[in-house]
Structure 1
Amino acid sequence: MSKILKVENLSKTYRSGEHDLNVLNNVSFDVDKGQSFAIVGPSGSGKTTLLGLCAGLDTTDEGEIWLCGENLLGLDEDGRAFLRNQNVGFVFQDFQLLPTLTALENVIVPLELRGVKNAAEQGRELLEKVGLLNRAGHYPSQLSGGEQQRVALARAFSNKPSILFADEPTGNLDDDTGTRIEELLFELNKEQGTALVIVTHDLELARKTDKSIRLRSGKIEETVG
């Protein structure tokens, strides 16, 4: 299988006052097309920083990242943004829905930005997949946390991404709702062949993925799978 994400000898340091804070140190791993992958670790271990670097939201100090066949080092900010728009989906812990748009409108924003002609029809199909077609006209404030995350999932998969980055996708949800979101993530991952990279502190969730790494103090402590 070809690699959708390849990380080699990645390090990242931030300046904090008079001191350097080494957040990631010599991290290497890869993710195959269609594979589910978890980045696990306690708070402060560098998980979210690593996700941001892999998605091209930040730049590395040392090492290289290949995302969808492109070396991120060779791309400027506009180039990285174009690559994300074409290939990458995101799901966040706090949903990040636009409050003035309905559920359907939130889902179809990425489609409309890409000039898709039947965006509304595709948006309704996606909402139906996550069980929320009957809530299409509701605003985020009228939806529960679980419903908002299901809308966010539908939006993330709207452009049929090659890879989806999910940052603590069940962190703000109760156990039952979180389990349903996990099921949907894996269902859509299999159905669309989208590689899935999940940042989580939840070891049970990590065990459900094809492969995982455990970070501690910015270093890979363990690789499973």
Structure 2
Amino acid sequence: MSKILNVEHLGKTYKSGSKQLTVLDDISFSIESGETFAIIGPSGSGKTTLLGLCAGLDYADSGAVNLCGSDLGSLNEDERAQLRNKKVGFIFQNFQLLPTLTALENVVVPLELQGAKSPSKIGKELLGKVGLGDRLHHYPSQLSGGEQQRVALARAFSNKPSILFADEPTGNLDQDTGDRVIELLFELNQEADTTLVIVSHDLELAQKCKRILQLRGGKVVSNEVLIES
């Protein structure tokens, strides 16, 4: 298997008044193509910051990230955006759907921007897979939290990403709804053979993945394989 994400000696600091706050300190790990990988740790451990650096949403202060064969440090903003559009999917805790677009439009618009053929057909198929075939023309405000996250799932897989980053995907959902969303996430992921990276404080969710990276205080405290190939 080839490495789809390789992180070497990554560091990130922020200014807090007159002080420097180290959020990530010398983080190194790699993820193989097709792997399911969880990043866990308490609040403030640097999980979301690490995800942002791995996905090219932010710049590291030290170290290197190679994503889908590209050294992110050598890419400008436009090149990073192009890489994300072609290779990367995202699922966020707060859904991030466009409120003025219907469920179908939220899935279709990214496909149209990428010049996909039959975007509406693809969108309807994906929404059908997540159980929203009868909600195509509903706006986010007309959908429950679980339904909104299922729209976000369909959108995340619409460009057939090589790697998908999910940041606390069940954080705003009740237990039963969250369980169903995770079930769908893993089903779609297996079907698409996508590399899945989940950031969560939920150990039960993390244990569904092949490997768990644990952070504490901005440092790696363990990198454990749970499921052998």
**1:7-46 equivalent positions in 2, closer than 5 A:** 7-46=7-46
Partner residue of 2:220? 220
**What's the % identity of the aligned pairs?**
68
Corresponding residue of 1:51: 51
d(CA) in 1 for partners of 2:77, 2:17: 26
The 3-state SS of whatever aligns with 1:154 is helix
Asked if residue 196 in structure 1 is aligned to residue 225 in structure 2, the reply is no
What SS does the aligned partner of 2:190 have?
helix
What's the C-alpha RMSD, in Å, of the aligned pairs?
0.6
- TM score, norm. by length of structure 2: 0.97
Inter-partner Cα distance in structure 1 for 2:202 and 2:44: 15
1:28 maps to a residue whose letter is S
What is the match of residue 174 of structure 2? Answer: 174
The reply to whether residue 164 of structure 1 matches residue 148 of structure 2 is no
Give the letter for the 1:196 counterpart.
L
Query: Could you say which residue in structure 1 is the equivalent of 2:144?
Result: 144
What does residue 85 of structure 2 align with? 85
Deviation string 1:99-127 (CA, Å, 9 cap, x unpaired) is 11110000111101011231000000000
1:18-76: CA deviations, max 9, x gaps?
00000000111111111110000000000000000000000011111000010111111
Amino acid at match of 1:140: P
Cα distance between partner residues in 2 of 1:211 and 1:57: 23
Which aligned pairs between 1:100-111 and structure 2 lie closer than 5 A?
A: 100-111=100-111
Determine the C-alpha separation between the residues in 2 that align with 1:10 and 1:114: 31
Aligned length: 225
SS in 2 for 1:128: helix
The aligned amino acid for 1:14 is Y
TM-score w.r.t. the length of structure 1 is 0.99
User: Distance in 2 between the 1:126 and 1:171 partners?
Assistant: 23
1:3 maps to amino acid: K
**Residue identity opposite 1:158 in structure 2:** S
The whole-number CA distance in structure 1 between the counterparts of 2:90 and 2:43 is 20
Q: Partner amino acid for 1:83?
A: L
- Give 4+ residue runs of structure 1 displaced > 2 Å after superposition: none
Unaligned runs of 5+ in 2: none
Give how far 1:165 is off.
Answer: 0.4
Partner of 1:183: 183
